[in-house]
Amino acid sequence: MAQHRIHLHWDVSQDEDSYTWTLDSGVQMVASDPTGLIDKPDVMDPEEAFLAAICSCHLLSFVTEAAREGFTVQRYEDHPIGVLAKNAQGRLFVGKVLLAPKASFGGVRQPDRQQVLMLHERASEKCIISNSVVSDISLEPVLD
């Protein structure tokens, strides 16, 4: 099975609230504490990264499932929402994630509404990230 790795680096002498993720590809991303006193709109916090991972995985699974059925996804958008909650032990976690993807298709063959919903359902079942978390992930596709 595949392994995925990153390198995380934090140094108090540089910035108390920010740290760096270095991906296997060498790409570096600056991340920050979401509760930091200084607003840093140009950096991602762990909760945003969590949402990005879930909706990105759904996108990739959806495009793959569409291609298997002979459909070409032309455009895909989502604006996921994560809601914090307390678990049974009283600890905070991302209890609910709402995905509201909107896909448009190119090419001659166009899926009907039922086929789009089926593609989203299959994508949800195959998304590795969604299958790896305890958060309740709701899917409300935006259909034309």
Which CATH number characterizes residue 99's domain? 3.30.300.20
Domain extent for 130:
46-139
Please check whether residue 33 lies inside any domain of the structure: no
* Count of other CB atoms within 10 angstroms of residue 54: 23
State the average pLDDT over residues 9-31: 87
Instruction: Determine contact, residues 58/130, Cβ cutoff 8 Å.
Output: yes
Is 90 a domain residue?
Answer: yes
Residue 83 resides in a domain: yes
Mean pLDDT of 44-62: 95
User: Has residue 31 been placed in a domain?
Assistant: no
Global pTM value: 0.88
Q: Is 10 inside a domain boundary?
A: no
The predicted-structure confidence for 87-143, as pLDDT tens digits, reads as follows: 999 999 999 999 999 999 999 999 999 999 999 999 999 999 999 999 999 999 999
* pLDDT, position 137: 96
- CB-side exposure of 31: number of CA atoms within 13 Å? 19
User: Quick check: 97 and 51 in contact, CB under 8 A?
Assistant: yes
> What is the distance between the alpha carbons of residues 93 and 18, in angstroms, rounded to a whole number?
21
| 31-44: average pLDDT | 71
Residue 95 lies in a domain: yes
pLDDT digits (tens, 9 = 90+) for 56-100: 999 999 999 999 999 999 999 999 999 999 999 999 999 999 999
pLDDT at 99: 98
Is 1 part of any domain? Answer: no
pLDDT at 15 over 90: no
Instruction: Name the domain count of the chain.
Output: 1
Q: What is the DSSP letter of 135?
A: S
CA 66 to chain centre: 19
In a domain, 110, yes or no: yes
